[in-house]
Amino acid sequence: MTLGSTASPSKVSPHLTPLPPLLRSRSLSPPLSQTPHRSARSITPPPQSNGTLGPGPATPSHQTWQTIKKRKWTHLTPETSQPAAPSLFTSRNRFDELSHLSEDDMRRSDEDLPATAGTPRAQQPREYKPPPIYVYGVTNYQDMASYLTATLEEEQYYFKALTDETIKINVSTSDSYRRLIKRLHADNVIHHTYQPRGERAYRVVLRHLHHSIHPDTIEGELEDLGHTARNVLNIRHRLTKAPLPLYFVDLEPRDNNKTIYDLQFLCNMKITVEAPRRKTSIVQCTRCQSYGHTKT
C-alpha cells in the first residue's frame, strides 16, 4: 500500500476498534493543563464604603443605607466644666400669699366651707329610674290613655308603640310606678315589667356548705354578722337534681353588702363567697313561654 492511498473501511485492521461517540467528544477537548481551574477564578471585591471607619474588613450589607460615625467620649473635669447659664424664664408663685398659714389653719378653712352637692359629704342615696312596663294586646290607644289618666297624671308617664300591638310605658317617679303596677295587678291587665333596681336583692353564692344545713340556720348566722338575708336556697344539679354544697343567698340592699365577700367561716365550716355566674342564654318566662322576661 502506497503512502498516498487511503484505506477503505473493509481493510481496517481487526485489532483496532472504532471509538464510541462519547470518547470521541472527550478526545476533542483540550488537554487538562490548558483548562482553567474553578478555584482560580478572580473574585472582584465589593467597593469599600466612604464612611469614617476607615479600611477594614468587608462592609456589611446594611452599610449601603446607613453610615456609622465614630464617637469620641470626653470626660468633663471640674476644671474644664463650665457653669450652667442662668434661666431667662421666671414664673411667679401664686401661693406666696398662703405661705404664712400653717397646716392647722388650712385644715380649719376646709372645714368651714359649706357642703355642696358635689362634695362626698353631701352625697345622697342614688335614686334609680323606674323600669318600663310592657302592655300587650292594645287595640285602642285612646281607651288605654283614659284608663291610665284615671290613675296617674299625664306628666308622669309617656308611651311608645312597639310591634304586635305592644305598648311600652315609661314612668317618671317610683311612687307613680308602684301605683300603676298595683292598678294593673288589680284589674288583671296582661303586662310584664322588671324589679326596680333599688329593690333588687344582693345575690351571692356560698360554696362548701353541706346541703343538709337548714336555710334558717344560715339566715341566723348571717344575721349575727350584720347581714339580713331575704332568701336562702340550696342549689341542685341541673340534670340529676341532686343537692350540691352551694347556696344562693339574697341579701337586703344595704351599704355593707360587699363585706360578705370577706367571710371565711360560717356554721363552723370553711366557706368561699363568690359572685353568681351570669347566664348567657336568652331569658324566657316559664308562665307564658315568651322571651325577654321571667314570671312575676
Exposed / middle / buried, residue 138 (Cβ in 10 Å: 0-12, 13-18, 19+): middle
CA angle, 257 as apex, 253 and 259 as ends, to 5°? Answer: 170
Q: Of the ranges 74-78, 153-157, 266-270, which one carries the lowest mean pLDDT score?
A: 74-78
- Taking residues 223-248, report their average pLDDT: 93
- CB-CB contact of 274 with 283 (8 Å): no
Can you tell me the distance from the alpha carbon of 248 to that of 233, in angstroms, rounded to the nearest whole number? Answer: 5
Place of cell 365550716: 269
Place of cell 450652667: 84
pLDDT band at 283 (very low <50, low <70, confident <90, very high): confident
Beta pairing class for 191-193 and 166-171: unpaired
Q: Which three cell numbers stand for residue 199?
A: 329593690
pLDDT band at 1 (very low <50, low <70, confident <90, very high): very low
Q: Which three cell numbers stand for residue 106?
A: 388650712
Query: In whole angstroms, what separates CA 63 from the centre of its chain?
Result: 44
Can you tell me the distance from the alpha carbon of 194 to that of 177, in angstroms, rounded to the nearest whole number? Answer: 11
Amino acid 149: pLDDT: 87
Question: Could you tell me what percent of the chain has a pLDDT over 90?
Answer: 30
Amino acid 124: pLDDT: 59
| Coil/strand/helix, residue 91 | coil
Can you tell me the distance from the alpha carbon of 45 to that of 81, in angstroms, rounded to the nearest whole number? Answer: 47
Nearest to 274 by CA among 238, 246, 237, 243: 246
pLDDT band at 251 (very low <50, low <70, confident <90, very high): very high
Higher-scoring residue by pLDDT: 102, 57? 102
End-to-end CA distance of the chain: 134
Place of cell 301605683: 179
- Taking residues 15-27, report their average pLDDT: 51
Amino acid 40: pLDDT: 46
Most confident of 37-46, 79-88, 116-125, 206-215: 206-215
Query: In whole angstroms, what separates CA 191 from the centre of its chain?
Result: 37
- Write out pLDDT tens, residues 189-235: 888 898 888 888 999 999 999 999 999 999 999 999 999 999 999 99
Place of cell 347566664: 279
Report the mean per-residue pLDDT for the chain: 74
Furthest CA-CA distance within the chain: 150
- Taking residues 116-120, report their average pLDDT: 49
Q: Is 106 a residue whose pLDDT tops 60?
A: no
Amino acid 153: pLDDT: 86
Can you tell me the distance from the alpha carbon of 182 to that of 152, in angstroms, rounded to the nearest whole number? Answer: 12
Amino acid 217: pLDDT: 94
Partners of 266 in beta bridges: 269
Q: Of the ranges 6-10, 167-171, 177-181, which one carries the lowest mean pLDDT score?
A: 6-10
Q: Which three cell numbers stand for residue 279?
A: 347566664
Partners of 207 in beta bridges: 246, 272
pLDDT band at 49 (very low <50, low <70, confident <90, very high): very low
Nearest to 130 by CA among 156, 155, 99: 156
- CB-CB contact of 202 with 253 (8 Å): yes
Q: Is 66 a residue whose pLDDT tops 90?
A: no
Q: What are the CA-CA distances from residue 145 to residues 133, 142, 149, 163, 181 (Å)? A: 14, 5, 6, 18, 15
Task: Identify residue 226 by its one-letter amino acid code.
Answer: G
